[in-house]
Amino acid sequence: MSKRKKWGLISLGVIVVLVAGGLLGASLYFYNMTVASGKKSFVGTEKPLRKSDRLYAQKKWYRDVKKEQWTENAAGTHLKQVADYIPADKTTKRTVVLVHGFGSNKEAMGGYVALFHQLGYNTLIPDTRGQGESQGKVISYGYYESRDYLKWVKQVIAKQGPQSQIVLFGVSMGGATTMMTSGLKTPTQLKAYIEDCGYTDAQAEISYQAKQMYNLPYWPLVPLTSAVAKAKAGFHFKDANALAAVKKNHKPMLFIHGGADTFVPTRMVYQVYRADAGPKELLVVKGAQHAAALSHNPELYEKTVTAFLAKYMK
């Protein structure tokens, strides 16, 4: 082999190593941004409560109301999960379990909690694993969380008895988690689901955000980061699949989405709605951005939720 060819091969090898190292470094960074729990720079923090907020009264009520604390271990682990529980004003077996979104916590759910409390439901509001007060180092986009929330549902039944009637309600990643739970084997006491602005699957959402936020194509960063997630956290992005889950669902589900949602694009709600195999209803709130359907049009939101629950909760 000539010296020139030898150095050419060495140079090519160096370039391959540098490129591979750069991609690995980028995928590890993207993993920390998307999967590792902790504060996310691209997730808006909960804003201070202001009287100009259309849901000011509801959020203030939730902040000030007396709460019980419930705990549960995350599915398959000893990670302690923490939840607020607020009993209805009148004794009832009807309970809503609420699921918050990515990079958030139970305190962000005040408007929704107040809505269901007003409708006469007990409310259970957990911090999802790795967020808020709950332990954990991984956010799995609903893959593990759906199993955690199934445990919360079973705890409600254990405490309130076999006559319990439970609704699972989630927003954003919580909406996707709600849909993924519907694809599991669930107790008969879990009567219905309400999902608000959930995505079809984690791979589709992360690919969309990579393009929107960083102008990055799907290949190679998303597959590499998914491989890192599998190695470090035990799941691929494609495993967190709400679209596949609702195909197995045969219980009632209300799908809600903002018509101006550009974070989880509105088109995704039509995909999961069409795929769902159970009784279903769809509300797209015109002009509402991501996770803002309730504040954008509270009257329509409450009316739709009330009518849906009246059909399936006795």
Nearest residue to 305 via CA among 149, 165, 96, 126: 96
**CB under 8 Å to 124, separation ≥6 — which residues?**
70, 83, 84, 85, 95, 96, 97, 98, 152, 156
Cβ–Cβ under 8 Å, residues 91 and 108: no
CATH fold for the domain made of 55-201+240-312: Rossmann fold (3.40.50)
**pLDDT of res. 1:** 56
Domain spans, the chain: 55-201+240-312
- pLDDT tens across 211-258, in order? 998 898 998 999 999 999 999 999 999 999 999 999 999 999 999 999
- pLDDT tens across 132-186, in order? 999 999 999 999 999 999 999 999 999 999 999 999 999 999 999 999 999 999 9
**CB under 8 Å to 244, separation ≥6 — which residues?**
183, 201
Nearest residue to 141 via CA among 260, 231, 52, 233: 233
- pLDDT tens across 274-289, in order? 999 999 999 999 999 9
DSSP 66-104: --EEEEEEPTTS--EEEEEEE--SS--SEEEEEE--TT-
Nearest residue to 236 via CA among 271, 207, 273: 207
